């Protein structure tokens, strides 16, 4: 039994939910999102909120149960509050800057890396060594943050590169004489 799937998803104030068969549309102050659930689960509106139940007792239905509930909960949080990931840049000369709809990264390469900002994502650079990625879709925010981090991931010897805020990098000792 899914412990997460059993809980109903509460609908926050100012958020409207429309259920049409296996698709659910959520509209809130920050925007509108939709999710299409698999045929293994049923989605219903109740007094406590949106409930998700498996249609049968198969492994596939039980797997999709908790995942579908979490996806719906992420829709509710996204249209109400939004999601945010913070990245930190460490290294001499490493910096980030916004130029229109492009994030320009100086990461020690012979050229600057230009990352075009996708639709629905907002990127801010409060400091040259800090990047904030925000949006209403949790998956898209995480994907964009991962793509930016991939340009120069943190290395274990000096710790240089792009890391998530609060991420611990296991440091290695260098060469010994």
Residue-wise pLDDT tens digits, 135-162: 999 999 999 999 999 999 999 999 899 9
The predicted model gives 40-46 an average pLDDT of 89
Are 83 and 31 within 8 A, CB to CB?
no
Same domain, 119 and 75: no
pLDDT of residue 92: 92
**Dihedral sign from CA coordinates of 153, 155, 159, 161:** negative
Same domain, 66 and 139: no
C-alpha angle with apex 154: 149 to 160, nearest 5 degrees? Answer: 115
Confidence band, pLDDT 50/70/90 cuts, at residue 176: confident
Cα distance from N-terminal residue to C-terminal residue, the chain: 57
Instruction: With respect to residue 176, please indicate whether it lies within any of the assigned structural domains.
Output: no
Instruction: With respect to residue 72, please indicate whether it lies within any of the assigned structural domains.
Output: yes
Are 40 and 53 within 8 A, CB to CB?
no
Are 50 and 70 within 8 A, CB to CB?
no
Are 146 and 135 within 8 A, CB to CB?
no
Containing 25, the helix (H) or strand (E) segment is strand 23-28
The total number of structural domains that make up the chain: 2
pLDDT of residue 6: 85
Q: Give the pair of three-digit tokens for residue 60.
A: 């596939």
Containing 5, the helix (H) or strand (E) segment is helix 3-6
Same domain, 62 and 103: no
Report the alpha-carbon distance of residue 69 to residue 94 in Å, rounded. Answer: 40
Report the alpha-carbon distance of residue 74 to residue 76 in Å, rounded. Answer: 5
Same domain, 105 and 36: no
pLDDT of residue 1: 58
Same domain, 42 and 106: no
Q: Which residue shows structure tokens 């611990």?
A: 168
Torsion angle of C-alpha atoms 18, 24, 25, 29, degrees rounded to 10: 90
Residue 62 is part of which domain span? 3-80
pTM over 0.95: no
């Amino acid at each position: 039994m899914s412990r997460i799937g059993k809980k109903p998803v509460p609908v926050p104030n100012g958020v409207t939910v429309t259920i049409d068969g296996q698709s659910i549309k959520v509209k809130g102050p920050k925007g509108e999102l939709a999710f299409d659930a698999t045929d293994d689960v049923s989605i219903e509106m109740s007094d406590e909120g949106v409930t998700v139940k498996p249609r049968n007792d198969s492994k596939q239905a039980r797997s999709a149960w908790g995942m579908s509930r979490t996806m719906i909960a992420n829709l509710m949080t996204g249209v109400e509050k939004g999601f945010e990931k913070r990245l930190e840049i460490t290294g001499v000369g490493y910096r980030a800057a916004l130029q229109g709809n492009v994030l320009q990264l100086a990461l020690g390469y012979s050229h600057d890396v230009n990352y075009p900002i996708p639709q629905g994502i907002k990127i801010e650079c409060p400091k040259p060594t800090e990047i904030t990625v925000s949006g209403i879709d949790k998956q898209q925010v995480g994907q964009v943050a991962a793509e930016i981090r991939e340009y120069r991931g943190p290395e274990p010897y000096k710790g240089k590169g792009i890391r998530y805020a609060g991420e611990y990098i296991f440091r290695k000792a260098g060469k010994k004489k």
